[in-house]
Structure 1
């Protein structure tokens, strides 16, 4: 992780800082996390990191292609590492559980849109509904 991060930062004329390393590690550890969740995770290790550092760093990491975001609620975006395989997010509106599915789940939709010249960003896709556990309650 840090070698790739260091190389990509150098390409952009940026430095590898401990904060950037901690924030990327937090996204990788948490798998799907809002900036506030990343901040809490990082602050549990180092209290000197503030919210603006987390937001700015997440933007830089996304520009570098190391993280990406999607909207899994009406709140802040949720970030995840690009080291994970590409996946579709399925979100329960009741319990807020997030499940990841293979992009094949939406392959027919992606293919139809591609026929019309539209390219789908599958990693940004979130499908909302009710999970089986919540549907029974």
Structure 2
């Protein structure tokens, strides 16, 4: 938690109780939409509303404490960056989400750099398909 506090302080923000609840919820849930974060936060405080959750998630993403990906055609899904940078595999059948180390993509990333002078941000990447558990 101290790394969050120092990151917030360095950028001129305080770690308010609301921010702390939202960061804890994202950390606890792993991958969660703003509505799921709100449901988790409301277990501890009824005072927060969905607009506060959305605004706080945006600030936390600007500060590099959370990231979002689009794991469905609905609201973005947020996840903590405390564990590691990753991209996502999403099974269309069972909806399982698998976090994958970006090193897997290194040949593709190297090719994009070489051929297009392009640096890809894979933290937002979601690859849809079928997992081995599904027929």
TM-score interval, normalised by the smaller of the two chains: over 0.9
2:90 matched to which residue of 1? 91
Q: Partners of 1:4 and 1:84 in 2: how far apart?
A: 13
TM-score, structure 2 length as denominator? 0.92
TM-score, structure 1 length as denominator? 0.91
Cα distance, 1:38 vs structure 2: 0.5
Cα distance, 1:5 vs structure 2: 2.6
Q: Partners of 2:109 and 2:8 in 1: how far apart?
A: 33
2:128 matched to which residue of 1? 128
Q: Partners of 2:35 and 2:68 in 1: how far apart?
A: 14
Alignment of 1:1-137 (within 5 A): 1=1, 3-115=2-114, 116-134=116-134, 136=135
Q: How much is the aligned-residue C-alpha RMSD, in angstroms?
A: 1.3
Residues 1-39 of structure 1: per-residue CA shift (max 9 Å, x gap): 1x3333333333333210100000111111111111111
Residues 84-113 of structure 1: per-residue CA shift (max 9 Å, x gap): 211120001121110011212222111110
| Count of equivalent residues | 134
Query: Please, which runs of 5 or more residues in structure 2 have no aligned partner?
Result: none
Query: Please, which runs of 5 or more residues in structure 1 have no aligned partner?
Result: none
1:107 match: secondary structure: helix
1:46 match: secondary structure: coil
Q: Partners of 1:74 and 1:43 in 2: how far apart?
A: 25
